[in-house]
């Protein structure tokens, strides 16, 4: 029975991660590249594997970074230079993964022919409106205000 409890705890952890703006940003970026990849690109299995693994690495590191920051804040609520360095290094790990994710995205998605196809696809007014609504919904999701009572980052 404890095996299934682990899934419950992991799900609860993901819900906690959703309270973090950076996690929501990376989640929206992953959803966007997966959508565009599925709709406009004919990726091979290996390319899909690279894309999905890249998304998973960035999201996972964001979760680890958040967990480390919260642990540091609990263990040492006052300013401490070593704690600050630990938090900065963890954030740096996410930054490295995100930079390489962008590079992988450029390698996988860069195609002037596909860009023209995408522009043509969204030149239909209804599709353009839906794209704009999607972008606004993602922006609203990313920039949700923090709920009262949540820990403040230092």
Give the phi and the psi of residue 19 in degrees, each rounded to 5. -75, -10
**Count of other CB atoms within 10 angstroms of residue 61:** 19
Residue 57 makes CB contacts below 8 A (sequence gap 6+) with 97, 101
Residue 73 makes CB contacts below 8 A (sequence gap 6+) with 151, 153, 154
Catalytic pick among 62, 69, 78, 117: 62
Q: Distance between terminal CA atoms of the chain?
A: 38
- Do 117 and 41 form a contact (C-beta atoms < 8 A)? no
Question: Residue 27: which of 134, 105, 142, 133 has the closest Cα?
Answer: 142
Cα separation, 71 vs 58, whole angstroms? 20
Active site residue 62: yes
- Give me the active site residues, please: 62
């Amino acid at each position: 029975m404890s095996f299934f409890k682990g899934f419950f705890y992991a799900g609860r952890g993901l819900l906690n991660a959703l309270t973090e703006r950076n996690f929501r940003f990376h989640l929206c970026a992953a959803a966007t590249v997966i959508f565009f990849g599925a709709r406009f690109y004919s990726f091979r299995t290996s390319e899909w594997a690279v894309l999905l693994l890249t998304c998973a690495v960035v999201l996972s590191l964001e979760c680890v970074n958040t967990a480390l920051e919260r642990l540091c804040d609990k263990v040492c609520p006052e300013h401490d230079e070593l704690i600050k360095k630990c938090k900065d290094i963890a954030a740096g790990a996410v930054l490295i993964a995100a930079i390489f994710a962008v590079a992988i995205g450029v390698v996988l998605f860069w195609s002037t022919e596909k860009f023209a196809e995408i522009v043509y696809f969204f030149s239909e007014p209804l599709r353009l409106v839906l794209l704009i609504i999607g972008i606004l919904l993602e922006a609203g999701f990313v920039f949700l205000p923090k709920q009262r009572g949540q820990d403040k980052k230092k």
